[in-house]
A = this chain, B = another copy of it.
Amino acid sequence: MEKGKGNTLDGPAIQRIRNDFPIFKKVINGQSLVYFDNGATVQKPLQVIQAIENYYYQSNANIHRGVHTLSREATELYETARNTVAAHFNVANPQQCVFTSGTTEGINLIAGGLSKAILRSGDEIILTAYEHHSNILPWQLHAQERGLKLKVIPLKSDQSLDIAAAMTLFTDRTKVLAVAHVSNTLGLITDLQALFKIAQQYNVITVVDGAQSSPHMPVNLPELDPDFFVCSAHKMYGPTGIGLLYMKEKWLTELPLFKTGGGTIKTVTFEHTEYAEGALRFEPGTPHISGAVGFAAAIDYMNSIDMSAIYKHESELVRYAQTRLLELPEVEVYGQSEHKAGVISFNVKGAHPFDVGTLLDKYGIAVRTGHHCTQPLMQLLGVQGTVRASFAIYNTLEEVEYFIEKLKRVITLVS
């Protein structure tokens, strides 16, 4: 049992980071907060909260088309935020970065748009067995309406994706491959390269659900080269209600509109509308301007630490937690690969995850319990739910230590 501090950030660095997060002053049940529910949403640094505040203090106005100073300022903040997001993912043309309200919204826009004009009855959509409901339900909804078929890439016995089996799923009717970059329940990193290689052969549109990769590791979109990529700011140290829908340039004109409204147009009559070009086409209504500003601040914050450093630190936390959990005979860990980002899922044998979560909370430790919006995966694992600990840059090996110690206590209590 080696702590492997080499890869985690050192104490003073972590302490500086923790000081940026006001919520860690909070006391939960008489204990200081150990927040291991980062897969659900992460805490926000002062830098992000203040960016939102400053927006409302200084520059709040509706964007676009406004000739007054405030409106110009707000528009510039909003478009600068788009540039920041684009640069973060190495996207050359910021117009390819559409602001949405989050990952789920992004997938709805893609599935809804594609199903309007590109997907035809009998076409197939390939997903993985560990998809989040948000990357299942929108496809299912349109599948029912349009007569599409969902196919599922199975998992191997170690819960990693069965790439060999995936190969056999693709046919000439396969039109879309929609996969999580990182499984939110298991933490496993999907081998996108291998999947995309097959997808390319069959000329399949690729959709990446980046909700759980974007917070934990560097993501270079041109290198990855999916048709679509979506993520949520609230999982990336940013505010709620805002996310990214990235699309390849051609989709800016070719993806049919699923939603529409003010701000997306060139000219409108009751009979006909000529739509604007670029990202605006997909951003009907007043955007979440303060959200975009906060999102950009969150990205700046992550980059001030460096995505590779974040990945290393969190991977070490996962590795250490996994090692310690595996020492406990009462515990079962799901998805024991080394190729993991930020998340670990387990159960105490014979105990309901709800009990484990409730008791850990009493010790000030926030974990998520339940199906994690991945019920098909739960059915596959044959469990009602799991306990999930997920890490962020402010978590420490000491917190993991404390968690293991208290988990042992919980095991005694529930046994």
Contact = CB atoms under 8 A, between A and B. Distances in A.
A386 to B, nearest CB: 13
> Chain A at the B interface: mostly helix, strand, loop or mixed?
mixed
A292 to B, nearest CB: 9
A29 B286 contact: no
A366 B265 contact: no
The residue in A22, A68, A263, A265 that gathers the most chain B C-beta atoms within 10 A of its C-beta is A68
Interface string A238-272: 01111000000000000001111111110111100
Contact of A62 (B40, B48, B56, B273): B40
Given A137-B273, A241-B288, A260-B138, A41 B61 contact: yes
Contacts of A93: none
A83 interface: no
A242 to B, nearest CB: 6
A69 interface: yes
Contacts of A104: 259, 261-262, 284-286
A44 interface: yes
B268 A376 contact: yes
Interface string A124-146: 00010000111011101100010
Interface in A340-360: 354, 357-358, 360
A68 B367 contact: yes
Given A136-B268, A357-B67, A379-B269, A259 B290 contact: no
A244 to B, nearest CB: 13
A225 interface: no
Nearest to A269: B376
The residue in A56, A138, A265, A357 that gathers the most chain B C-beta atoms within 10 A of its C-beta is A56
Contacts of A265: 133, 137, 375
A33 interface: yes
A286 B67 contact: no
A291 interface: yes
Given A67-B358, A141-B260, A368-B66, A284 B108 contact: yes
B67 A369 contact: yes
Given A269-B379, A270-B136, A23 B259 contact: no
A58 interface: yes
A261 B108 contact: yes
A129 to B, nearest CB: 9
A190 interface: no
A58 B23 contact: yes
A370 interface: yes
Contacts of A103: 285
7 contacts: A37-B66, A62-B368, A101-B105, A134-B285, A138-B259, A150-B270, A267-B375
